[in-house]
Structure 1
Amino acid sequence: MHGSIFNLLKRFVQTQYDYSTWLKLVELSGLSSADFDMNEVYPDAQIYALVGQAASMTGIPAEQLQEKFGEFLVPDLMLVYKRYVQPGWGTLEMIENTEEAMHGAVRRDAPGTRPPVLHVTRLSDKELEVQYESERRMGALAVGIIRGLATYFDEVDEIEVEPLTREDEEKVIIRVRQR
């Protein structure tokens, strides 16, 4: 997992709780450092340890924490990838173009990273099916990002996000509808 994700997770924990909670989370996860280099790629086991420990500490299921973190990520992701976003796009268009534009840029610019593969099918003018594929099994993070996009594009009351399969599988199907 890319170091930027760890740094955003750190900020998420500090925003929701505080810095000492982050330090305790890192310690209980068995990690040697609470700091992550933005340009490094870290073993996936480290993110699993942090999320698992956070679930234990809070009593909130790991999938729910991943969704909340996904929502939190969106403003930063949009800032980083704004050059790929076309004027007039909304939530559905953003999702349709994520794989080619944003994930393509990540694969080109940060060797060693492995963003999930998204297969997006337009079912109608107002409905998409997203097939998330990743050995990380973090589909809940994708669900959270989609919900965060709806908030970002001020469409939260119009967008319905429904995982059709378990969010902890390698392949997760997510239905996104605009009301």
Structure 2
Amino acid sequence: TESRRATVDVFLKASGYLDCAIRQVLPQIPSELRRQLPVDLAEGNLKALSMQALGQGVDMQLGLAIDSPKATLAVKRRLACEMVKYWHQVQESIPELPVSEGWGKKHLLFVKWKYVEAKSAAYYFHGLILDEGNSEKSHGMAIAALEASEEFLKESKRASAAFHATPPTSR
């Protein structure tokens, strides 16, 4: 638990450093030099990495909440929804990443995997909350949310398999 909390802190710091680079450092660099920077240092990619750090930090927090008997379903759903937001922002912020080389394509697959996984978690916890309701309408909506979660989970597993199979291969 302590190492997970430390990991969350590292992700938050990383995001803060990247955000500082975007807001404070890049504007100080002349536009001619900015165009000569490696694509990894482009503003969109730095923003994507900053959002990714936040998404991975919230992922760790959700893991801590799942393991904690004190964490409510509402807290778990809120964290899952935050993950969806961050991973969606990552997808929108990677305009300049070259996908022709292996790491760029692999990174895009990782982002897709985590985004769909976050959607699955958000729908799952939302379905559990709806299922606590006493009406038939809330029960029907809970079933729909849990079915959507199952579909996103299947898609997440496919995205994970694609990520791990893409060179450079990983486990």
**TM-score, reference length from structure 2:** 0.29
**Higher alpha-carbon Rg:** 2
TM score, norm. by length of structure 1: 0.29
